[in-house]
Amino acid sequence: MTKKVDIDWANLSFSYMKTDFRYVAKWKDGKWDEGKLVEDNMLTISEASTALHYGQQCFEGLKAYRTKDNKIQLFRPDENAKRLNRSCDKLLMPNFPVERFIDACMQVVKANEAYVPPYGTGATLYLRPFLIGVGDNIGVKPAPEYLFCVFCVPVGPYFKGGLTPVNFVISESFDRAAPYGTGGAKVGGNYAASLEAHKVAVDNGFADCIYLDPKTHTKIEEVGAANFFGITHDNKFITPKSPSILPSITKYSLLHIAKEYMNLETSEGDVLVEDLDQFKEAGACGTAAVITPIGGIEYRGKLHVFHSETEVGPLTRELYDTLYGIQFGDVKAPEGWIYEVK
CB of 77 to ligand PLP, least distance (A): 11
User: Could you tell me which of 227, 217, 169, 224 has the C-alpha nearest to residue 193?
Assistant: 224
Nearest-angstrom CA–CA distance, 35 and 340: 21
Helix, strand, coil fractions of the chain, as percent rounded to 5: 25, 30, 45
- Tell me whether residue 61 or residue 142 sits nearer to ligand PLP (CB atom): 61
Residue type present at position 110: K
Q: Which H helix or E strand runs over 57?
A: strand 57-59
Q: How many residues bind ligand PLP (CB under 6 A)?
A: 13
Q: Taking the CA of residue 252 as centre, how many other CA atoms within 13 Å lie in the half-sphere pointing to its CB? A: 13
292 is a site residue for ligand PLP (CB under 6 A)? no
Closer Cβ to ligand PLP, 137 or 150, answer by number: 150
**Do residues 112 and 207 lie in contact, with contact meaning Cβ atoms separated by under 8 Å?**
no
User: Within its chain, how far is the Cα of 255 from the centroid?
Assistant: 16
Q: Are 141 and 180 in contact (CB under 8 A)?
A: no
Residue type, 286: G
Q: How far apart are CA 21 and CA 110, in angstroms?
A: 9
In terms of CB distance, is 118 or 269 closer to ligand PLP? 269
Region 40-69 residues binding ligand PLP, contact defined as CB under 6 A: 61
Nearest CA to 288 out of 126, 132, 169 is that of: 126
The answer to the question of residue 221 lying near ligand PLP (CB under 6 A) is no
| Residue 153 CB partners (closer than 8 Å, separation 6+) | 15, 16, 17, 19, 115, 125, 126, 128
Is the CB of 149 or the CB of 289 nearer to ligand PLP? 289
- Residue 186 in contact with ligand PLP, rule: CB under 6 A: yes
Stretch that binds ligand PLP, among 23-31, 222-230, 254-262, 271-279 (CB under 6 A): 222-230
87 binds ligand PLP (CB under 6 A): no
Nearer Cβ to ligand PLP (79/145): 79
Active-site residue, from 31, 68, 186, 215: 186
Question: Nearest to residue 118, comparing CAs of 1, 10, 2?
Answer: 10
Shortest distance (Å) from residue 246 CB to ligand PLP: 4
Residue (60 or 145) nearer to ligand PLP, CB: 60
Any catalytic annotation for residue 186? yes
Query: Which of 31-47 are b and which e, b meaning 16 or more Cβ less than 10 Å from the residue's Cβ?
Result: ebeebebeeeeeeeebe
For ligand PLP, the closer CB: 61 or 144: 61
> In whole angstroms, what is the distance from residue 198 CA to residue 273 CA?
19
Tell me: does residue 250 bind ligand PLP (CB under 6 A).
Answer: yes
For residue 327, state whether it binds ligand PLP (rule: CB under 6 A).
no
Name the segment binding ligand PLP (CB under 6 A); options: 120-128, 245-253, 269-277, 302-310: 245-253
Q: Judged by CB under 6 A, which of 137, 227, 244, 327 binds ligand PLP?
A: 227
**Of positions 116, 132, 170, 249, contacts ligand PLP by CB under 6 A:** 249
Options 19, 107, 124, 248; binder of ligand PLP; rule CB under 6 A = 248
Q: Which of 107, 112, 171, 287 binds ligand PLP (CB under 6 A)?
A: 287
- Is residue 286 close enough to count as binding ligand PLP by CB under 6 A? yes
Residues in touch with ligand PLP (CB under 6 A): 61, 186, 222, 225-227, 246, 248-251, 286-287
Residues with a known catalytic role? 186
